[in-house]
Amino acid sequence: MVRIGTPDEAARERALGIWNSIAKPIGGLGELEEIVANIAAISGFEGVDISKRALAVVCADNGVLVQGVSQSDYSITTAMADAITTGRASVNKMATVAGIDIHVYDMGIKDKVPGPKDLSIANGTADMSQGPAMSEVQMRDAIEKGVGIVEELVGQGYTLIATGEMGVGNTTTSSALSAVLLGMDPAITTGRGSGLGSEALHHKISVIEKCIDVNAPDPFDALGTLAKVGGFDIAAMVGIYLGAAIKRVPVIVDGLVSSIAALVAKRAFPGCEYAMIGSHVSSEPAAKAIIAELGIKPVIDAGMHLGEGSGAVALIPLIDMALAVYGANETFARIGIDAYEVNPE
């Protein structure tokens, strides 16, 4: 049985006390103050330190791609996994600004590329329009390897982990999972992904409907649904969220794919969501419904849908600025003004 931690509410209160002692309006930094307090509760220490942070990018291909659900092919996953590993992708430029190290993992890339750490389950999932995307054994293997990613990163001294992914076709798997787990019509949960036209979008929706009909996933069985209409990247992220909850390390949720993995993790391993930090609201249609179900509060709403962990990375400079205020110790007493009173209303 996995041993999931629980938030340290005393540490949260101490962190909120520090915020309220700082010479600024009470709650003046809004949800940024809540994030810092949440990190304190996750780690159990109000002296929040996220100076060593990692972005874990999990990469995998999806067999359903053969059904024409994307304007890209398998070669894009290979090329982008290589680009991220070698520092040439968009997220690498953002990570440099945010001061975050990127670790790339091959969870099931069809056409292999040197560079990512090889944790491959298979060379891509099966075509889920014909049957389950993966076996239960494969699904659990991917989750266990996700837990292992966290164990390795924590062992290297990282105190904050962000999630990222790369895999052509994973908005199809995410939209299918969203439709089943949220009880929504695939026509509502499915977006244009990397830029599908209207006709291609309608085809993508019809393929997702077929995937759900063929596999008949049980919406009350999150892991069973994951195996039937998910992907190795999503399963690995489920493990990352679980591992973060076990190790008491904050984990930043990225966009659509990362968010649906977080929902699977919450449903399958209740309580693990305490370690999750929201970053942004993806422009993909299902994103807001998933976030509401998760109960997290993303700070950024900028219409982003880049993937790669870019939204999670974008949050980090905001947290850094909040921590600069939090750790400055410029209290009302030091500045020589009367403190604001906390209004209970």
CB neighbourhood size of 226 (10 A): 31
CB atoms within 10 A of CB 151: 13
Are 284 and 274 in contact by the 8 Å Cβ rule? The answer is no
Give the angle 67-191-260 at the CA atoms, nearest 5°.
Answer: 95
Which helix (H) or strand (E) covers residue 265, if one does?
Answer: helix 256-268
Judge contact between 225 and 260, C-beta under 8 A: no
- Pairwise CA distance, residues 107 & 143, whole Å: 10
Q: Where are the alpha helices (DSSP H) in 231-309?
A: 232-247, 256-268, 287-294
Per the annotation, the verdict on 308 as an active-site residue is yes
DSSP state at residue 160:
E
Tracing tokens 């105190």 back to the chain, one arrives at 159
- Which secondary structure element, helix H or strand E, spans residue 325, and what is its range? helix 310-326
Neighbours of 103 (CB within 10 A): 20
Q: Which of 31, 308, 330, 341 is catalytic?
A: 308
Backbone φ/ψ region at 184: left (φ over 0), alpha (ψ -120 to 50), beta = beta
Non-local CB neighbours of 118 within 8 Å, separated by 6+ positions:
106
State residue 202 phi and psi, 5-degree precision: -60, -35
Q: What are phi and psi of 144, to 5 degrees?
A: -60, -40
* DSSP run (H or E) holding 274: none
Active-site positions?
308
